[in-house]
Amino acid sequence: MTFQYSIYEWARNHRVHHKFMDTDVDPHNIKRGFFFAHVGWLMVHKHPDVRAKGKIVDVSDLEADPIVMFQKRYYYTLMVLFAFVMPTAVPWLLWGEDPWTAW
């Protein structure tokens, strides 16, 4: 849960990337630079072609997976829980750490 999209979105983006590698449709096109290809693509809006092709790529196997769909449905709740609540609660409740220090 690193604020980098759900399993569903990651898998869809990965499929689009492999299908349209090194074109404007590639979500993390290396031709746009090293930084963009590795992290920059997470910081900008997707190219319109990426959005269009992302809608037509086959993700029926992902939609049939109950775990993937659960994580997609509750992504923001799970993100807060696993990124903030649990890392604070575990040291506080299990080891007696002060909550402000654990945060």
What is the dihedral sign for C-alpha 53, 57, 63, 67? negative
pTM of the model: 0.80
For 1-55, write each residue's pLDDT tens digit: 678 889 999 999 999 999 999 888 999 999 999 999 999 998 999 889 999 998 9
The residue ranges of every structural domain in the chain are: 7-95
Q: What tens digit of pLDDT does each residue of 58-92 get?
A: 999 999 999 999 999 999 999 999 999 999 999 99
In order of 3, 8, 92, the CA distances from 49 in angstroms are 23, 19, 47
